[in-house]
Amino acid sequence: MALLSVLTPVLAVVLCLVIGFILLGSRETKTTSTSTGKTEGASKADFRPWVDQDLQDDTEITAKEDEDGDWADSNEDEDLLHVPYSPPRYPEETMLARSKDLYTLMNQRRSVRFISPEPFPQEVIDNVIRTAGTAPSGAHTEPWTFVVVSDPETKHQIRRIVEEEEEVNYRQRMGDKWVHDLAKLKTNWIKEYLDVAPYLVLVFKQTYGILPNGKKRTHYYNEISVSISCGLLLAALQNVGLVTVTTTPLNCGPQLRLLLKRPANEKLLILLPVGYPASDATVPDLKRKPLDDIMVHI
């Protein structure tokens, strides 16, 4: 009994240590498992090798802006003047006719990859981009830059960069399904129109603005805003009888930004070759969805 009374405290300490080691090991195993699961889940969700970093949506306002003292005060424009607005009001018959006329014009719009080198006035491009610049934007920040390229050497450098990356896209990044879906359109990484078209318009989104005093200005919904302006640009081109093909050259943004000497806050969103259609131009015989398939009336 005396021996047992001496050993009891020792056994109790040993037992506590054993239980402690078991619990600690279980906790570490759980933590490692959870961490590994998160990493694997994140890697599976985020593994999209075709994604262009420049095309990722970055319109959310992060806490980093609040911590960075270089951002401008959002209260600077509180005293903005408001003025009366009285646009033309058309009779219903005129409204109906104008709506049909615009639809008829825009329904003729096609993505054209065969573009004529025939020149046209620079002023036409100027007015088209002025029209694109009338688009709405988050807090009226107008977060767009339209770079117009007509210099043959610069156009050829753009083509070289795009074709080099596009070949990798088609062979590796895009995957079999995407390449297969494009096969009916007869597209590939050869972009002859980048040399041929009289003008290239590269549309950059400004992820934030830079004021004259050097401070940064938040550009809310910059990608959505610039996308809307691109829609107006396409409509303006159609209105003057010019054609284009909307291209989003994956993974070309950083090189093109460097070539065109654009600042770090600008990221390439879309590249448009602009001109008349070539005399032998063809387009796929595609059909558009009927109204009932694209509109829900409640």
**Distance from C-alpha of 37 to C-alpha of 171, rounded to nearest angstrom:** 31
Choose among 189, 174, 120, 172: nearest CA to 148. 120
The residue ranking higher by pLDDT, 278 or 178, is 278
What's domain 115-278's superfamily in CATH?
Answer: NADH Oxidase (3.40.109.10)
Separation CA 4–CA 82 (nearest Å): 93
pLDDT tens digits, residue range 17-46?
A: 556 555 555 554 444 444 444 444 444 444
The proportion of the chain whose per-residue pLDDT surpasses 90, expressed as a percent, equals: 60
Are 113 and 193 a contacting pair, CB within 8 Å? yes
Phi/psi at 124 (nearest 5 deg)? -65, -45
Tens of pLDDT, residues 176-210 = 676 666 666 667 667 899 999 999 999 999 999 99
Q: How confident is the model at residue 249 (pLDDT cuts 50, 70, 90)?
A: confident
Mean pLDDT of the chain: 82
95-139 tens-digit pLDDT = 999 999 999 999 999 999 999 999 999 999 999 999 999 999 999
- Where do the domains of the chain lie? 115-278
Q: What share of the chain is helix, strand, coil (3-state, %, to 5)?
A: 50, 10, 40
Is-contact 50 169, C-beta < 8 A?
A: yes
